[in-house]
Structure 1
Amino acid sequence: MCEPRHFRVDYAINPWMDPTRPVDAAKAVAQWTALKQTYERLGHRVDLITPHPALPDMVFAANAATVIDGIVLGARFRAPQRAPEADLYRTWFLTHGYRTVVMPTHTNEAEGDFTWTGDLLLAGTGFRTDPGAHAEAQEVLGVPVVSLHLVDPRYYHLDVALFVLTEATPTTRATIAYYPAAFSPGARRLLRRLYPDAVIATEEDATCLALNAVSDGHNVILPTEATHLAAELLARGYEPHFADISELRKSGGGPKCCTMELRG
């Protein structure tokens, strides 16, 4: 995670961002701190990277790398405003003992568009990550990749349209939640085939970034407004935990955007 010490909205690179709308950086830090403390209270370790004053979106750590089995595939941002973040995160991994750190040749916004299910890497495209980055991820990470086409500009990254509730095991398939209208017809058919028992989110869920959630297989951290999805998850045996992300949402970010998951 990266503290939003320098968080602001100086430019607009997605439909959520409006540079004329006031941003309270101190409130953003407080909300981020509460999210970090929730992870720690639930027993998770949180590693930190130092924020850079010229990079207001560096708080959205999920976009900077994908890590599976200790192999790191870095990011190549589409927006030039965020491009310098990639090298700062690459340096962090190299100085923290990661031996295999590969920087991509294709545009790739990491866990923004790559979601690990335990046996498949679901990979979004349509707005940010190039389709060619999917084959590159498969080659670098050594896992099978399933491409999913996004069609709604509000849900420009996969991680605002879908998240994994429980990862697959050798004997069980993963459980996911997703918002069907964010995907092309073919991607919707594919998701129904792969995950017939998925939690189907509503437009109400999607518009408060409820799909930008983080699950450890039991505890699910999601935005405060996501009461409908929380009720669905509670009925399935999950334990929802709410996070106020009202300031961070002004850049189109939520709990998952602020969280890069380090696997191995």
Structure 2
Amino acid sequence: MINTVLLCPPKYYQIEYEINPWMHVENKVDPERTHEEFDNLKNIYKKIGLDVWIMDPEPGLPDMVYTANCGFVIDNLFIKANFRYQQRRKESDFAEKLFRQKKFKIATLPSNVYFEGQGDLFFRDGKFFAAYGRRTSKKAIGHLENILGEKIITFMVKKDPYFFHLDTCFAPLGKGKVIIHPASFSNDDIDKIKKNFRKVITVSKKDNPFFCCNIVATDDAVIVGKGMSKDIKRTLEKEGLKVFETPMNEYFKGGGSVKCTTLEFFRSNS
């Protein structure tokens, strides 16, 4: 599925503005704990055999730590994000610079069409899944289909402001499995999910504060922020997945967890 991920150290990470309901400027980030959480996550990726790329942080861009939003990577193609909020727009410029240096092909969308990278676009089991609504524009889907040369299975994520990206409420696990927060989807979208996955694992309200859908999954492992309920963990383990829980409390303050902090390098042959 993936063999490489991109992370960004939290040198400048702090809650300096509020662009989602999780963010409160008075809720200060503990820099020491944040660096510990970053190092723990990085070490898990290395332990399970993934290559870890590092993007240098930039002053004035505290949310660069959420690398999943800066674009979408598959094979040697990088699709650059167009952020909805002004505070984050320069992040994707630095990501583009990195991928140009690495000789990736670069694709862009029109500047007036919002697209927030792997926050709203996934690839699993040979299929693309995307969402529009709170961050990514509906018009982005057609542009992405043209760039990728593939149809995209599309959902609308707009019901709950706490679930503003697809990656906060939906995570394909590979081999026909997915974990979702069902309250984030319409009945039609739930039906669509059931048609595309043989096993649908659902999380409940008690899991919401721990971003239990905001995970990274490899062929045989799941990496998730600490706090997942025992029932969900047991279900994942019964599906043959080794669950790595790691503290992400400082990142929760900004509205993200493991997946938000991780740009995955998808492979089209997986």
Question: Structure 1 residue 205: deviation in Å?
Answer: 2.3
Counterpart position of 1:214: 216
Which of 147, 153, 167 is the equivalent residue of 1:146? Answer: 153
Partner secondary structure for residue 247 of structure 1 = helix
TM-score normalised according to structure 1 size: 0.94
Write out aligned runs for 1:1-264 (5 A).
1-98=7-104, 100-105=105-110, 106-150=113-157, 151-166=159-174, 174-228=176-230, 229-264=232-267
Which amino acid letter does the alignment assign opposite residue 24 of structure 1? Answer: D
Q: CA offsets per residue over residues 50-86 of structure 1, 9 Å max, x none?
A: 0001100000000011112322111000010000001
Q: Using the alignment, how far apart are the partners of 1:209 and 1:142 within structure 2?
A: 32
Which segments of 5 or more consecutive residues in structure 1 lack a partner in the other structure? 168-173
Give the length in aligned residue pairs: 257
Q: Distance in 2 between matches of 1:125 and 1:231?
A: 31
Q: Distance in 1 between matches of 2:41 and 2:24?
A: 24
SS at match of 1:10: coil
Describe the SS at the equivalent of 2:21: coil
- Note the alpha carbon deviations across 1:229-262, whole angstroms, 9 max, x for none: 2121012211100010000100011000110011
Q: When you count strand as a share of all residues, which structure comes out higher?
A: 2
Measure, in 2, the Cα distance between the counterparts of 1:76 and 1:12.
Answer: 19
What is the root-mean-square deviation of aligned Cα atoms in Å?
1.2
What is the one-letter code of the residue matched to 1:91? K
Q: CA deviation at 1:196?
A: 3.9
Instruction: Name the aligned partner's letter for residue 261 of structure 1.
Output: E
Structure 1 residues 208-229: Cα deviation after superposition (integer angstroms, max 9, x where no partner): 1010000102110001101332
Residues 214 and 258 in structure 2, CA contact (< 8 A), matched pair in contact too: yes
SS at structure 2 position matched to 1:262: strand
Q: Partner of 1:170 in structure 2?
A: none
- The structural deviation recorded for 1:20 is 1.0
Percentage identity across paired residues of the two chains: 27
Shift of 1:202: 1.9
Q: Distance in 2 between matches of 1:74 and 1:52?
A: 18
Q: CA deviation at 1:140?
A: 0.8
Task: Classify 1:222/1:76 alpha carbon distance in 2 versus 1 (closer, same or farther; 3 Å).
Answer: same
Give the conservation status (yes or no) of the 8 Å contact 2:123–2:266: no
Work out the CA distance in 1 between the residues paired with 2:56 and 2:266: 21
Does the residue aligned with 1:62 lie in a helix, a strand or coil? helix
Higher relative contact order (CA 8 A, sep 6+): 2
